[in-house]
Amino acid sequence: MAFAEQTIAEFLDDVAARAVTPSGGAVAAVGGACGAALCEMVCIHTIEKDDGDVESELSTVRTELETRRERLLELADEDSAAVDELQAAFAASTDEERAELIDERSRRAADVPLDIAEACLDVLDHSKIVTAKGNQNALADAGTGAFLAHAALKAAVFTVRSNLGLIEDPTVVAAIEERVAEIDERGDEALTQVRSNIEKSA
């Protein structure tokens, strides 16, 4: 069953179980999706009360946030599958097969949380607009959405980096590290802008 089809309680029960998955990457993805949903909600409240340029802009932002939310839920499933496949590689029967599988599946175990981090960065970028132009009565919700997306981004970045030690090709590792560093920096910059938007509205 896809995580999107579970109740919140069922998902959390699965997380708080002995099974390896769902683990950090999947939980980060769900957290990022929650952040996107909160920002979507603020867009809706703003659109209902505005009939000008803000309505048009936030209608587009809302659609983008919905797309990211749905994608993050898909990535939660993909992350769990990648972790399960990596665990299976560790249990491979022969040393030669095991080494090859671990390298191959470690790349996947790094690629998926990298996608999660990128999706969370998109949510954060959109949250800059929502916190600047959204309904001020819902500013706390937009801010909370941004904070959740930022935390999820940080968690996904940490997950990526924790899997790099298993990848043998230094060129691949360097490329991933470069992309991760960029996402991490841009995420911090986006959160700084969000905080500034919130402070201006206080």
Asked whether residue 13 is assigned to any structural domain, the reply reads no
Asked whether residue 136 is assigned to any structural domain, the reply reads yes
State residue 51's pLDDT score. 60
Interior angle at CA 27, CA 167 and CA 147, nearest 5: 105
State residue 22's pLDDT score. 97
State residue 93's pLDDT score. 65
- Tens-place pLDDT, residues 9-26: 999 999 999 999 999 999
**Other residues' Cβ atoms within 10 Å of the Cβ of residue 4:** 15
Is the separation of the CB atoms in 36 and 150 below 8 Å? no
Asked whether residue 5 is assigned to any structural domain, the reply reads no
Query: What span, in angstroms and rounded, lies between the C-alpha atoms of 92 and 51?
Result: 61
Asked whether residue 3 is assigned to any structural domain, the reply reads no
Asked whether residue 142 is assigned to any structural domain, the reply reads yes
Provide the domain limits for residue 51: 23-201
The CATH number of whichever domain residue 141 belongs to comes to 1.20.120.680
- Tens-place pLDDT, residues 80-121: 999 999 998 888 767 767 778 888 899 999 999 999 999 999
DSSP 17: S
Is the separation of the CB atoms in 129 and 58 below 8 Å? yes
Parts of the chain with a pLDDT under 50: none
> pTM for the complete prediction?
0.95
CA 192 to centroid of chain Cα atoms: 18
User: How many domains does one find in the chain?
Assistant: 1
The total number of residues shown for the chain amounts to 202
Structure-block tokens of residue 192: 């700084």
State residue 147's pLDDT score. 98
Asked whether residue 37 is assigned to any structural domain, the reply reads yes
Asked whether residue 44 is assigned to any structural domain, the reply reads yes
Asked whether residue 72 is assigned to any structural domain, the reply reads yes
